[in-house]
């Protein structure tokens, strides 16, 4: 395990999320629990964000169900390495369904950030993009710097998915920016914004 | 001895799902659900999603609901335990969820490893905030699934139908 490697990664998670969402248009965005949810809030809270405060391992399958239900919308799941590791099987499920509109972005700082910055498996031998590729997800890569990030932005917006990017980001403690945490409210505002009157049937 | 061709309840369940606008059917298979799964895969109205573990289905159907689609989750009783933490998503967001559980570890079970989860399925679901409807007569499957479907989607509630081994037939592996 590489205990210090991720402390010097050049990409910073908040800037990465802002860049990815800069031209989100009408995309639907799901964030995994912990830092990715705070990063999404820092980029700007809005009704078509669905930040998770729990349900660890559920971000990708939730994004899959949403992508299948809304095939004309881009669905972007932003999660962390620890959350992704808890639901690795969901990459296999995504690969079999092959939704063209689903984008999975892992902000990989190689740590369990909310619980004391303990190392995750990605600080050792585990390569999440390789897991996604071996599962059959057609577009997968690991991104390590600004050049690499610039190279994937178009695929995030338009690539024939599912696409999976493991973005290596610096391990750092950042100020908390918290989204709303009332789940019923998050659900209702999301459905109202997306479905209009059909949200209440 | 599971699901003889003359039994109509798997078709009844399929029709209930289609009539209630269920569009996503997520499952980890059980022999008791085999015919229903087959019908869902052949259906143009339904997307059948095979899972690697049952809790994926809880999250998947939460996403479906956010996107305006109804779903159902099929599993055997051993899968219920896998769902416990993920069910907090359904509960805290007050979303509908319909689960159809093919029971093991109860009526005439030959595999002792199925018994601990099978004997606790009902309590575990109730503890996790899921209403349960047990059915052990094949003539009552239709009405029970209809009732659970209605409560789930009209009441934004989590419901589970527990389909007894008395209906499914106990597995024997030829013993």
> Which CATH number do you get for residue B140?
3.40.50.970
Predicted local confidence at residue A3, as pLDDT: 81
Spatial contact of A80 and A106, defined as CB atoms under 8 Å apart:
yes
Asked if the model's pLDDT at residue B3 lies above 60, the reply is: no
- Work out the percent of chain B whose per-residue pLDDT is above 90: 88
**Closest-CA residue to B15 (of B51, B50, B43):** B43
**Closest-CA residue to A107 (of A158, A38, A53):** A38
Asked if the model's pLDDT at residue B107 lies above 90, the reply is: no
In which band, very low, low, confident or very high, does the pLDDT at B1 lie, cut at 50, 70 and 90?
very low
**Residue B3 within any structural domain of the chain:** no
Contact check, Cβ <8 Å, A184/B94: yes
Predicted local confidence at residue B77, as pLDDT: 97
**Residue B173 within any structural domain of the chain:** no
Total of domains in chain B: 1
Minimal Cα–Cα distance from B87 to chain A, Å? 8
H-helix or E-strand spanning residue B167: helix B165-168
Which range marks the domain in which residue B93 is found? 9-168
- Work out the percent of chain A whose per-residue pLDDT is above 90: 95
Minimal Cα–Cα distance from A199 to chain B, Å? 7
B32 touches chain A (CB under 8 A): no
Predicted local confidence at residue B174, as pLDDT: 59
Minimal Cα–Cα distance from A156 to chain B, Å? 20
The per-residue pLDDT for range B151-173, each reduced to its tens digit, is 999 999 999 999 999 998 766 66
**Residue B61 within any structural domain of the chain:** yes
Asked if the model's pLDDT at residue B110 lies above 60, the reply is: yes
- Work out the percent of chain A whose per-residue pLDDT is above 70: 100
Site of tokens 């499952």? B27
Predicted local confidence at residue B48, as pLDDT: 98
Contact check, Cβ <8 Å, B68/A93: no
Q: How many CB atoms lie within 10 A of CB B127?
A: 11
| ipTM tops the 0.90 cut | yes
Task: For chain A, give every domain's residue range.
Answer: 5-196
CATH 3.90.550.10 fits A5-196, yes or no: no
Spatial contact of B19 and B47, defined as CB atoms under 8 Å apart:
no
Greater pLDDT, B1 or A86: A86
Least confident of A1-15, A61-75, B136-150: A1-15
Strand-by-strand arrangement of the B70-76 sheet: B47-50, B22-27, B70-76, B97-102, B158-163, B131-135
């Amino acid at each position: 395990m590489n205990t210090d490697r991720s402390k010097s990664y050049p990409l910073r998670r908040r800037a990465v999320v802002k860049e990815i969402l800069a031209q989100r248009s009408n995309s639907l965005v799901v964030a995994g629990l912990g830092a990715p949810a705070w990063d999404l809030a820092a980029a700007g809270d809005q009704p078509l964000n669905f930040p998770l405060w729990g349900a660890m391992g559920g971000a990708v399958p939730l994004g899959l169900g949403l992508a299948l239900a809304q095939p004309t919308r881009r669905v972007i799941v932003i999660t962390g390495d620890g959350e992704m590791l808890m639901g690795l099987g969901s990459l296999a499920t995504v690969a079999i369904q092959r939704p063209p509109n689903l984008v999975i972005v892992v902000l990989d700082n190689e740590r369990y950030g909310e619980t004391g910055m303990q190392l995750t498996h990605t600080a050792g031998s585990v390569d999440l993009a390789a897991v996604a590729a071996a599962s059959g997800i057609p577009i997968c890569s690991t991104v390590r710097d600004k050049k690499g990030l610039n190279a994937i932005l178009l695929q995030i917006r338009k690539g024939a998915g599912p696409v999976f990017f493991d973005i290596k980001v610096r391990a750092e403690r950042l100020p908390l920016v918290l989204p709303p945490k009332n789940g019923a409210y998050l659900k209702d505002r999301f459905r109202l914004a997306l479905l209009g009157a059909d949200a209440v049937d | 001895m599971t699901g003889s061709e003359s039994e109509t309840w798997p078709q009844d369940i399929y029709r209930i799902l289609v009539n209630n606008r269920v569009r996503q059917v997520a499952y980890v298979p059980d022999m008791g659900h085999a015919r229903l799964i087959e019908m869902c895969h052949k259906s143009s109205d339904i997307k059948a999603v095979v899972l690697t573990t049952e809790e994926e289905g809880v999250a998947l159907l939460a996403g479906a609901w956010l996107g305006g689609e109804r779903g159902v989750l099929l599993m055997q009783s051993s899968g219920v335990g896998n769902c416990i933490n993920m069910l907090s998503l359904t509960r805290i967001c007050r979303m509908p969820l319909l689960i159809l559980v093919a029971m093991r570890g109860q009526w005439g079970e030959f595999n002792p490893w199925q018994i601990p989860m099978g004997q606790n399925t009902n309590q575990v679901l109730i503890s996790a905030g899921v209403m349960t409807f047990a059915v052990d007569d094949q003539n009552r499957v239709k009405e029970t699934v209809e009732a659970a479907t209605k409560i789930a989607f009209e009441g934004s509630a989590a419901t589970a139908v527990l389909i007894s081994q008395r209906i499914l037939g106990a597995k024997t592996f030829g013993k």
